[in-house]
Amino acid sequence: MNLTRQQHITHASSLQSALFAGLSDDVAAILTATASSRHAAPGTVLFHQGDAPDHLIQIVSGLVRMTQVNLDGAQTTLRIMGPGQILGCVAVFQQFPYPATATALEDVVLISWRSSQILELMREHRGIMENMLRIVGARASEMVQRVVEMSGKRVEQRIASALLRLADQAGSKAPDGIRIEFPVTRADLAEMVGVTYFTISRTLSKWQGQGLVKNGRQRITILASQQLARLAENHES
């Protein structure tokens, strides 16, 4: 589905996007006017791991799963990305192949720029360059944090950290807490942490008994995010 220019300008300006943060109206207008918009159905692969980094993509609505296949052929969910988030920023900025595969989890609307186009805009407009550097830096910081978690934290700490990240990436506010619903699954959480589905289910059941979460058939509701944050840091229940 192709959107009119006015539609995608409205979409972009309505987002709390790190790419547009702090830009003047004139620069934001240039950024939106040069973007292309499209719709993708669930299951659509936006780009594959190893593809040339030909586009920078911003999610307008919907969720996208980022996965990576290791040398043994095992697939891992790296993160779930939602509205306002940028896909392919590190690959486009550094000009190396996409390190992961991006797949639409549900109907998504996207705006995108050709790599050559966004790199030229970065050279011409300091604000866009600074925003891209912040986005790339934040992504690198997250990956370092995950490496530290995998090597130095206990399983429950890692699950708590990943669950809080999921809540930030794909959660929605509910009367009783923060709700994470299908199409994000416990299998995604297990892959993000590097444990089995059984370990995730057992841990969530324990936490439900402690009043930290509420488990549903296709949802997890975080009832006590501050307690989970303390658990993630100190392994306290």
Q: Which residue has the tokens 């990240």?
A: 165
pLDDT in tens, 168-182: 988 999 999 999 999
Architecture of domain 153-234: Orthogonal Bundle (1.10)
Of the listed ranges 53-57, 100-104, 166-170, the one predicted with least confidence: 166-170
Cα–Cα distance list, 57 to 21, 74, 175, 201 (Å)? 16, 26, 33, 34
Predicted confidence (pLDDT) per residue in 113-152, tens digit = 999 999 999 999 999 999 999 999 988 888 787 777 777 7
In this predicted structure, what is the pLDDT of residue 22?
Answer: 93
- Domain coordinates in residue numbering, the chain: 5-150, 153-234
Over range 85-110, report the average pLDDT.
95
Strand-pair partners of 103: 45, 65
Residues 59 and 87: beta-carbon distance below 8 Å: yes
> Is 157 in contact with 196 (CB distance < 8 Å)?
no
Q: Dihedral, CA atoms, 109, 115, 120, 121, nearest 10 degrees?
A: 20
d(CA 47, CA 87): 10
pLDDT at res. 9: 43
Token pair listed for 65: 């799963």
Q: Which pLDDT band, with edges at 50, 70 and 90, does 73 fall under?
A: confident
pLDDT grade for 2, boundaries at 50, 70 and 90 = very low
Pick the CATH number of 5-150 from 2.30.110.10, 2.60.120.10, 1.10.580.10, 2.30.30.100: 2.60.120.10
Q: How confident is the model at residue 16 (pLDDT cuts 50, 70, 90)?
A: low
Q: pTM, whole model, 2 decimals? A: 0.85
